[in-house]
């Protein structure tokens, strides 16, 4: 955790950014044409220090659009951070209330250096009996050369293979902000 929090400036480099999903080990991700997550601190949380026991709280707004045009604008998922953990709390919209009954223990695998748009952010989670990896980037249109370099690094450093992944079907002419996400990523 120490290395992750050092590289992310205590999770601050996760926040106030839109993370574009490029691929995942879940085969259903290949049916998506757009998949982004906007991460931000809850009000008053940004200034707080990470603590071993007291959770620092953030939010994740996720939007997907399938290759068939089906849009899902998910309810906000709470995120919590301590010096020894990072959890996502899937939100279930029951129409009368939004429930977040479980916290998924996320395991960071890779994180871009200094907001690089050419490096992967990779997270691992075990959920519903599945072992899942997700690859995100600050730009949905990463070059094939950069993707290949990142996958080679993942294999060399973590024994994670490219063939495990299914890619989001990003349009090569996709314009940042065109699916309602804020254009806030460092340039």
Specify whether the CB–CB gap between 32 and 67 falls below 8 A: yes
Q: How far, in Å, are 25, 64, 76, 99 from residue 92 at the CA level? A: 23, 16, 9, 5
Q: What is the mean pLDDT of residues 105-114?
A: 96
User: Which letter, b or e, does each residue of 54-80 get, where b requires 16 or more Cβ atoms within 10 Å of its Cβ?
Assistant: ebbbbbbbbbbbeeeeeeeeeebbbbb
pLDDT of 187: 85
| pLDDT per residue as tens digits for the range 40-89 | 999 999 999 999 999 999 999 999 999 999 999 999 999 999 999 999 99
User: Among the listed ranges 17-31, 84-98, 142-156, which one has the minimum average pLDDT value?
Assistant: 84-98
* Number of other CB atoms surrounding residue 118 within 10 Å: 16
Concatenating the DSSP letter of every residue in 91-126 gives: -EE-SS-EE----EE-EEEE--GGG-TTS-EEEEEE
Burial of residue 178 (CB within 10 Å: 0-12, 13-18, 19+) is exposed
Q: At residue 14, does pLDDT exceed 80? A: yes
Reduce the DSSP state of residue 28 to 3 states and report it. helix
Element (H, E) at 19: strand 17-24
Task: Read off the pTM.
Answer: 0.95
Q: At residue 127, does pLDDT exceed 80? A: yes
Task: Give the C-alpha separation, 33 to 12, whole Å.
Answer: 28
Element (H, E) at 87: strand 85-88
Task: Give the C-alpha separation, 125 to 131, whole Å.
Answer: 6
Specify whether the CB–CB gap between 106 and 88 falls below 8 A: yes
């Amino acid at each position: 955790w120490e290395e992750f929090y050092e590289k992310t400036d205590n999770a601050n480099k996760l926040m106030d950014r839109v993370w574009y999903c490029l691929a995942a080990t879940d085969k259903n991700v290949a049916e998506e044409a757009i998949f982004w997550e906007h991460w931000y601190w809850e009000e008053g949380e940004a200034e707080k220090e990470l603590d071993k026991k007291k959770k620092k709280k953030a939010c994740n707004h996720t939007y997907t659009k399938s290759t068939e045009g089906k849009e899902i604008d998910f309810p906000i998922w709470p995120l919590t951070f301590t010096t020894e953990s990072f959890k996502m709390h899937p939100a279930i919209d029951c129409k009368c209330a939004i429930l977040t009954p479980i916290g998924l223990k996320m395991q960071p695998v890779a994180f871009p250096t200094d907001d690089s748009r050419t490096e992967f952010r990779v997270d691992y989670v075990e959920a519903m009996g599945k072992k899942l990896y997700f690859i995100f980037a600050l730009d949905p249109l990463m070059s094939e050369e950069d993707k290949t370099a990142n996958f080679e690094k993942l294999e060399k450093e973590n024994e994670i293979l490219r063939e495990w992944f299914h890619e989001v079907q990003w349009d090569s002419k996709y314009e940042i902000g065109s699916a309602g996400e804020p254009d806030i990523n460092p340039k």
